[in-house]
Amino acid sequence: MDAISLKAGSLSRLLGQWRGADSADAAYRLLARALRLLILDGRVGLGVRLPGERELAEVLGVSRTTLTAAYGQLRDEGYLLSRRGSGSVTHLPGGRAAAGEIADIGEGDSFIDWTAAALPAPAGLWQAYEEALRRLPAWLSGIGYEALGLPELREAIAHDYARRGCPTRPEQIIVTSGAQNGLTLALRALTGPGDRVAVDHPTYHNALGAILRNSCQPVPISLPETGWDLEAMEAIFRQTGPRLAYLLPDFHNPTGRLMDAASRQALVAIAARTRTPLLIDETMAGTGFGSPMPAPVAAHDPEGHLVLSLGSVAKRHWGGLRVGWIRASEQRIAELGRLRAILDMATPVLEQLAVTVLFERESGMGDRPAMLRARCEKLIALLGEALPHWRVPMPEGGLALWAELPHPEASALAAMAQTLGLRVAPGPRFAADGGFERFLRLPFTLPEPDLARAVERLAQAEARLHRRPFRDSESPLRLIEAERVI
């Protein structure tokens, strides 16, 4: 594929205050350092063509000489490759790390597994199953295969969209066996081998895995400090012509950010202008801290011709309840129903009845938002004490923090933590092509005593790492690679 070009304006926004407070250092070295961090963090993807020197110098307000020197240093260090006729393209010294596959958790030991952003079942779930069991006999005389889902559940999901500001007919809904199953189904329907799929960067690692295993190529769109850079997104859509864009506007995993209403509208307009179907993952929609939610992205494309919405009850109720859905046009839903037969036939009837009950009962999220906010604040406080030099912004929702380390050493830190009985997901797990080495995803879903112990071990790991830099020969990195992250 041709390199994606990053516009000078977008890069400038990503760079932010690159000069920092102490400008004792030469400008070119400061600029090179800031660019290097963007590449290491994955905020500028690999294989991306940086703007021309003259153009960028102008936007940044520095001399052409400064820029030439900065690019030159990055080239010497292996962070930029010069290609004849295609300018300077980003690169990692020593090659690129592949987006890892995610393995299962080893059996019980004294480890703290801090990789799962998932909660135990809430009160009332058992009762929902009990009520579902009462309704089951009506279905036992049938053969049990409902490719599109039980009519009453499709109705309930459609009603929930309407309640959230997005009028929906039941015919626009297919029930899936969770959101990951829905993602697989949508990828099967919309993409073929070799197709490009645009993704937020960082993004949900199991989505990256599904895209890669579907023989597609992820096209990363870097997230800026806050929100989304829609200008860059449109440029990348135009440059790469992805078959599909997979985006997480509802408490983005792993950063926890929420796309505002105006951006949602603008996003759908971009999709329409560039004819790029959007697969909007709303799995995290139910994990807010109580602030009002903007309407679903599909509200700006109510017929669902361009916007496919992917939902699930795993995060707002329980992961052991494997029910999700896709909302799209009726025609698309019928197509997905046909494909369904060769993927997994249907979703279990009793599970669907239980989720129907949960939708009927739902009158808001109860005390869940307050509980999530409290746990989140608690973890931030614990980290502020034990690791005050880390930057841990308060997310707008979700189940995890996206912690920023002062040094690009997340993988080494995770490996060291493993030797201290702590599993944690380093930033590169959320990267299409390496990077994010200055980030860790830290779920706040563990019980508070476990959170305290986990933070303690993490601080210990950092101290050891800095006392005695981690050497590959003693590294349990393969173990880390074999971990499962939820």
Residues forming contacts to a second copy in the complex (CB under 8 A) are: 101-105, 116, 118-121, 125-126, 129-130, 133, 136-137, 139-148, 177-178, 180-181, 184, 188, 192-193, 206, 209-210, 213, 215, 314, 318-322, 334, 337-351, 354, 445, 482, 484, 486
* CA–CA separation, 242 and 173 (whole Å): 25
Phi first, then psi, for residue 403 (nearest 5°) are -85, 140
Largest CA distance in the chain: 79
Does the CA dihedral 226-230-232-236 come out positive or negative? positive
Geometric angle at alpha carbon 289, from 283 and 294, rounded to 5° = 65
Token output for 279 = 């697969």
H/E stretch holding 482:
none
Minimal distance, residue 345 CB to a second copy, in Å? 5
Upper half-sphere CA count for residue 145 (Cβ side, 13 Å): 9
Minimal distance, residue 182 CB to a second copy, in Å? 9
22 or 104, CB closer to a second copy? 104
264 or 322, CB closer to a second copy? 322
- Angstrom CA distances, 14 to 4, 43, 158, 221, stand at 16, 8, 39, 12
Instruction: Please provide the DSSP assignment of 384-430 as one string.
Output: HHH-TTSB-PPPSBSSEEEEE-SSS-HHHHHHHHHHTTEE-EEGGGG
| Residues 6+ positions from 115 with CB-CB distance below 8 Å | 105, 423, 424, 425, 443, 483, 484, 485, 486
34 or 105, CB closer to a second copy? 105
61 or 193, CB closer to a second copy? 193
96 or 188, CB closer to a second copy? 188
51 or 209, CB closer to a second copy? 209
* CA–CA separation, 258 and 324 (whole Å): 21
24 or 140, CB closer to a second copy? 140
